[in-house]
């Protein structure tokens, strides 16, 4: 329920000023006064029903509903995940190896380590964020520079080098140094030494006694242990094999365009609805739309789409790499039109406020046929959108627009008497719509429960003046309602005012086009007899 705040113009200031100037000697006397008091001024139009983003205006000024909503999005971070991984390398059994100060000694050549990546077989990745946290432990009795060169990770052609000076230690009290290395913009080659592997790192490990230290001869029990952890690693690009996972998706989306419609029936000229499958990833896809339905959760009405486009297997090609940075890929896009040979208009004629869907999407439906050449770039993924376009060309039968505003009559009594004695409330309506309407105003309490109505029942608001099937001038109508003691009490107790306009097109079900300037301007005026206390 949309609630709008309006300033209540009900005030006794003018009347008090007039009577103050002719104040009588009896300080307890009171008078009855008659005055027109503006209460509420507002407009009700089709924008009261919709999110403004959902309505567009064509070149003629006619309105159309445009609804584009993403139902599914599979991006790089969700498709390729490099988990936080702890790895360890231990160099031991260094029997009587002599380390001359300032001379590097190789401890491990072409050392391969496999990462545990569950959802992908990566051969290449460029990193946009993440660190390698390192802990190096040494029992060497001389300060030693330990270097771990990750040759499979390069930046500007240079390998990632982890190099730390480790103080002198001992078997009983090893020296430990920790450090953290940023790996942003490093390119990782995960193919290993063979060039045909995946998820594999290659490193060289070396050590050098500090130039200022003494010559070191290792003992059989000496060791160097390197523990490192990949932390919060996220790629901006990845290549490999991304698996053959099946994604089954069911869900519902709120459809707010018709949310404030209180009742009636509607005929629609045409609706164009399609699923857009946009593949910006280097994988083959297979999709199937299983079901579409719409619901009116207020009336519990539901209608399911029947269309030849449903339950068909659709193959979508992989994206194409451009070889340039902007854009890196050209998406493969496929549209599934749901409007042809379907009952799509019936779905809207129940005045839905919710869309439900079910579809399946499978990656690499033909298996591992890309030779590890699946690819994905940052800000490019797999997206499924529901697109809807409906010209607001409709026929209405007792179609009710409803709007609710805050309402406050202000000061209530003088000496336990209601300020208002009796009178009328008048609704002045300027109707720009090409159809007549009836209207009613309801007074609501704080829980939005109707406590009374105001206007005469079934009074007609005349249709706007048509010229070439377009309203060029509003018609003004006046509807009144008498105010008795029961309604006076309801006026003072009301917290909200609900406005209902019930519309019916002439010659229903003849269709009428709705234009951007159509609205009903409403002014509510009180013609009240009320009590004035000149001493206040």
Instruction: Say if residues 440 and 482 touch (Cβ distance below 8 Å).
Output: no
For 133-165, the pLDDT digits (tens) are 999 999 999 999 999 999 999 999 999 999 999
Q: Are residues 181 and 319 in the same domain?
A: no
Residue 48 and residue 261: Cα distance in Å, rounded?
A: 9
Q: Are residues 381 and 421 in the same domain?
A: no
Nearest Cα residue to 239 out of 329, 150, 317: 329
Of the pLDDT bands very low, low, confident and very high (cuts 50, 70, 90), residue 16 is: very low
For 24-74, the pLDDT digits (tens) are 333 333 444 455 667 778 787 776 655 556 788 888 888 888 888 898 999
Q: Are residues 481 and 512 in the same domain?
A: yes
**Domain assignment present for 454:** yes
Average pLDDT over residues 76-89: 90
Q: Are residues 335 and 462 in the same domain?
A: no
Q: Are residues 216 and 355 in the same domain?
A: no
Residue 372 and residue 243: Cα distance in Å, rounded?
A: 10
Q: Are residues 311 and 379 in the same domain?
A: yes
Give SS3 for 488. Answer: helix
Pick from 352, 370, 391: which residue ends a domain?
391
**Domain assignment present for 221:** yes
Q: Are residues 460 and 500 in the same domain?
A: yes
Q: Are residues 39 and 183 in the same domain?
A: no
Sequence-distant (≥ 6) Cβ neighbours of residue 501 within 8 angstroms = 44, 400, 401, 402, 437, 438, 439, 461, 520
CATH label of the domain that carries residue 12: 2.60.120
- Integer distance in angstroms from the first to the last C-alpha of the chain? 39
Q: Are residues 235 and 88 in the same domain?
A: yes
Q: Which domain holds residue 105?
A: 81-241
Pick from 365, 391, 417: which residue ends a domain?
391
Structure-token match 């857009």, residue found: 276
Of the pLDDT bands very low, low, confident and very high (cuts 50, 70, 90), residue 230 is: very high
Chain mean position to CA 210? 58
Looking at every residue in the chain, the average pLDDT score rounds to 84
Predicted local confidence at residue 26, as pLDDT: 37
Average pLDDT over residues 5-12: 33
Phi, psi of 316 (to 5 degrees): -120, 125
Phi, psi of 13 (to 5 degrees): -60, -45
Phi, psi of 493 (to 5 degrees): -90, -15
**Domain assignment present for 209:** yes
Q: Are residues 427 and 516 in the same domain?
A: yes
Give the containing element (helix H, strand E) for 492: helix 485-493
**Domain assignment present for 228:** yes
Number of domains forming the structure of the chain: 3
**Domain assignment present for 57:** no
The DSSP result for 199-253, as a single string, is SEEEEEEEEEE-TTS--EE--TT--EEEEEEEEEEEEEEEEEE----EEEEEEEE
For 351-363, the pLDDT digits (tens) are 788 899 999 999 9
| DSSP label at residue 14 | H
Sequence-distant (≥ 6) Cβ neighbours of residue 323 within 8 angstroms = none
Phi, psi of 507 (to 5 degrees): 55, 40
Q: Is the pLDDT of residue 414 over 70?
A: no
Instruction: Say if residues 441 and 498 touch (Cβ distance below 8 Å).
Output: yes
**Domain assignment present for 310:** yes
**Domain assignment present for 58:** no
Of the pLDDT bands very low, low, confident and very high (cuts 50, 70, 90), residue 532 is: low
Average pLDDT over residues 314-334: 95
Region of poorest pLDDT, from 10-19, 35-44, 526-535: 10-19
Q: Are residues 212 and 180 in the same domain?
A: yes
User: Is there a cis peptide before residue 349, judged by omega within 30 degrees of 0?
Assistant: no
Q: Are residues 412 and 491 in the same domain?
A: yes
């Amino acid at each position: 329920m949309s609630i709008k705040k309006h300033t209540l113009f009900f005030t006794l200031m003018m009347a008090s000023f007039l009577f103050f100037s002719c104040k009588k000697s009896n300080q307890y006397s009171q008078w009855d006064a008659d005055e027109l008091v503006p209460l509420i001024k507002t407009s009700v139009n089709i924008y009261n029903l919709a999110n403004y983003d959902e309505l567009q205006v064509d070149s003629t000024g006619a309105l159309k509903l445009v609804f584009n909503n993403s139902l599914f999005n599979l991006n790089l971070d969700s498709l390729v995940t490099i988990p936080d991984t702890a790895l360890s390398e231990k160099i031991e059994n260094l029997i009587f190896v002599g380390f001359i100060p300032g001379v590097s000694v190789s401890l491990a050549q072409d050392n391969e380590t496999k990462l545990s990546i569950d959802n992908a077989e990566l051969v290449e990745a460029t990193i946009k964020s993440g660190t390698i946290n390192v802990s190096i432990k040494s029992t060497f009795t001389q300060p030693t520079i330990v270097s771990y060169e990750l040759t499979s990770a390069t930046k500007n052609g240079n390998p990632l080098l982890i190099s730390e000076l480790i103080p002198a230690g001992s078997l009983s009290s090893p020296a430990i140094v920790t450090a953290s290395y940023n790996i942003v913009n490093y390119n990782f080659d995960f193919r290993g030494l063979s060039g045909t592997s995946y998820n594999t790192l290659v490193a060289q490990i070396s050590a050098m006694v500090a130039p200022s230290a003494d010559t070191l001869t290792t003992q059989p029990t000496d060791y160097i242990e390197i523990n490192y952890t990949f932390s919060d690693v996220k790629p901006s690009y990845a290549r490999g094999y991304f698996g053959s996972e099946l994604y089954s998706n069911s869900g519902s989306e709120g459809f707010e365009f018709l949310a404030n419609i209180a009742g009636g029936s509607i005929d629609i000229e045409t609706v164009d609805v399609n699923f857009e499958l946009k593949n910006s990833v280097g994988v083959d896809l297979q999709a199937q739309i299983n079901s579409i339905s719409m619901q009116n959760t207020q009336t519990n009405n539901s209608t399911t789409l029947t269309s030849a486009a449903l339950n068909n297997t659709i193959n979508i090609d992989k994206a194409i790499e451009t070889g340039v940075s902007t854009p890196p890929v050209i998406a493969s896009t496929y549209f599934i039109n749901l409007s042809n040979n379907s009952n799509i208009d019936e779905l809207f004629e129940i005045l839905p406020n919710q869309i439900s869907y079910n579809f399946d999407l499978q990656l690499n439906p033909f298996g591992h046929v890309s030779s590890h050449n699946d690819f994905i770039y940052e800000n490019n993924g797999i997206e499924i959108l529901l697109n809807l376009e409906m010209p607001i060309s409709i026929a209405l039968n007792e179609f009710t627009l409803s709007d609710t505003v805050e309402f406050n009559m202000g000061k209530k009594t003088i000496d336990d008497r209601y300020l208002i004695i009796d009178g009328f409330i008048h609704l002045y309506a300027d109707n720009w719509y090409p159809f007549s309407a009836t209207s009613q105003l309801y007074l609501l309490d704080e829980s939005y429960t109707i406590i009374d109505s105001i206007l005469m029942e079934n009074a007609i608001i005349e249709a706007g003046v048509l010229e070439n099937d377009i309203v060029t001038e509003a018609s003004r109508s006046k509807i009144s309602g008498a105010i008795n003691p029961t309604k006076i009490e309801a006026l003072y107790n009301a917290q909200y005012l609900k406005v209902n306009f019930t519309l019916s097109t002439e010659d229903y079900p003849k269709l009428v086009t709705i234009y951007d300037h159509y609205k009903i301007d409403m002014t509510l005026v009180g013609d009240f007899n009320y009590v004035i206390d000149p001493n206040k």
